[in-house]
Structure 1
């Protein structure tokens, strides 16, 4: 079995989906990234990109447990869940890990509790077994679908058991209303980091830099252009999002090999995204704009991202 990380981008937009011919190349679905490693499947966020991912999983007949790692509860990160087809498969087990905060209760009931009076809970045919874990940030989790208890809270210092994947968590407080949870997934000494809806600081976010240090890939928020962020009349400072320059600065500071620019403004056209991609690549050889349908493989030889026209289960 290959030990490579395979990363599939199913949704790369932020705020809301984008529609129209000027957005086709980059894609219009909201936040959703699939990671496959060591025979396991993990999913970052549950935006509208989760819908086609669910259709692909169902078409494959794969009923292995699924782990969804939510960054936070803003609608562009959860709106795909009610339409995630594995939720309706009776033999499917779905684990959801998400940050605890005072704003999550009503949304969490909607998404996870079959006993609640909510639109999702009352949907006919909702047969998957759902298991949930709320986290504060700073936890160390272990994941292995071959175990009878596939998701466990690991020890603070002990080694990861053979065959298990390590998931570390870090809460970024820069995003409004409770911040956003960042995740670091490690297997066989290789790591990828998911850090969306985070806003950097002058000199980069030192806490996030330490968390992501020496990873092979960071998927980093790059919602605004530098000009939008610093606009004299409509400054976006304090909105909880970064620019591509901030993402690249952090990657340099933390010795990260590749940085996928993510959570694109829904108004940014393919022409604008191509310009951002060109500027980012000039600033950092491992930087690239994440696009819907892109497939990146992290191998021992650390190749550049590989784009494929279609995602297959």
Structure 2
């Protein structure tokens, strides 16, 4: 087994929520919308296709032919707007398996990606892509096996619905939970289950508690959580590293610096998501120990 085939790394290509916000005040954390790549035992798993997917795609042009499994949490613009600009998707010989849950209106992830590339929204259709695209429907609560990688999922609390993912490989676990709103009176059981004893939990921390409950402009019902709630989840689920993610476009680098300091005081394993950040996960356990855990 090669060195790459023994590694489990999490790479951050887009960490911002809602809209891209490039500029001098977002240089250190980045302004691209969500895209997280996990390199797991020689396989490439990608979570969400915000504008960070374009940046990832440019890096893949040096590694052709490219192959990846792309998982969408949902189809709000900031999580799929990079897909039409994913250059490797237009290159014959590349292969991409694309996963997403069926939306409340019955549309599949293929239909939603297709629709965003139709006139008058986009000049060329999805069908112009020359790569081999294999679309797969995700059933909430039903695990997906990719060779010896186990990908679990659970529904999240978000307008229009969303799905969170947990990647298990040889005793290591990384969890991607974005675009979810916490409950006022309890911790979300689905999120706790996904995050259980995880090495890394990437969590939607768009707001602070003060912003969320602001008398002038409350964010209750907008479908996002806070960094304080992220810490509650991380502690309850025995998470090793909490990654504060999906930064509000109004939060500049200096603001995020302060959030990082406050979060670390409350939970030493808390870090702020930054574009270009790479987090390794230690692995050791044999495959026989990695089995689905019943939840739903």
TM range (shorter): 0.7 to 0.9
Counterpart of 1:35 (choices 34, 38, 45) is 38
1:225: how far off?
Answer: 1.3
Any idea what SS the aligned residue of 2:25 has?
A: helix
What is the Cα deviation at residue 108 of structure 1?
3.5
Deviation of the 1:268 alpha carbon: 0.2
Give the alignment of 1:56-95 within 5 angstroms: 56-63=59-66, 65-95=67-97
CA offset digits 1:61-112 (Å, max 9, x no partner): 243x210000000000000001101111111111110011134638732525
Moved over 6 A (4+): none
Distance change >3 Å, CA 198–CA 127, structure 1 → 2 = same
Q: Residue 292 of structure 2 aligns with which residue?
A: none
Question: TM-score, normalization: structure 1?
Answer: 0.83
In 2, Cα distance between equivalents of 1:171 and 1:222? 17
CA-CA distance at 1:298 after TM superposition: 1.2
- In the alignment, which residue of structure 1 is the partner of 2:99? 97
SS at match of 2:159: coil
Report the TM-score, using the length of structure 2 for normalisation.
Answer: 0.88
Equivalent residue in structure 1 for 2:54, among 48, 51, 55: 51
RMSD (CA atoms)? 2.2
Q: For residues 99 and 80 of structure 1, do their structure 2 counterparts lie closer, same or farther at Cα, with a shift above 3 Å needed? A: same
| CA–CA separation in structure 1 for the residues paired with 2:106 and 2:77 | 12
SS in 1 for 2:263: helix
Provide the rounded CA distance (Å) in 2 between the counterparts of 1:82 and 1:110. 12
CA distance in 2, matches of 1:110, 1:241: 22
Q: CA deviation at 1:234?
A: 1.3
The Cα shift of 1:295 comes to: 0.9
- The answer (yes or no) to whether the contact 1:277–1:288 under 8 Å persists in 2 is yes
Are 2:109 and 2:135, in contact at CA under 8 Å, matched by a contact in 1? no
In structure 2, relative to structure 1, the CA distance for the partners of 1:77 and 1:120 (3 Å cut) is farther
CA offset at residue 293 of structure 1?
A: 1.1
* Equivalent residue for 2:16, pick from 13, 18, 30: 13
1:110-125 alignment runs, 5 A limit: 111-112=113-114, 119=122, 122=125
Change (3 A) 1:119 1:105: farther
SS of the residue corresponding to residue 61 of structure 2 reads helix
Q: Which position in structure 1 is the counterpart of 2:169? A: 187
User: How far has the Cα of 1:185 moved from its partner?
Assistant: 0.5
Gaps of 5+ in 1: 145-163, 302-313
The whole-number CA distance in structure 2 between the counterparts of 1:98 and 1:80 is 16
**Preserved CA contact (<8 Å) 2:196 2:239:** yes
Count of matched residue pairs: 278
Higher mean displacement: 129-138 or 25-34? 129-138
SS of aligned partner of 2:271: strand
Closer, same or farther in 2 for the Cα pair 1:214/1:71, shift >3 Å?
same
Provide the C-alpha distance between the structure 1 equivalents of 2:228 and 2:70, rounded to a whole number of angstroms.
Answer: 29
SS at match of 2:62: helix
**Structure 1 residue 60: Cα displacement:** 2.2
Counterpart in the other structure of 1:168: 152
Aligned residue number for residue 146 of structure 2: 143
Change (3 A) 1:223 1:104: farther
Counterpart-to-counterpart distance in 2, 1:242 and 1:102: 22
- Structure 2 partner of 1:248: 231
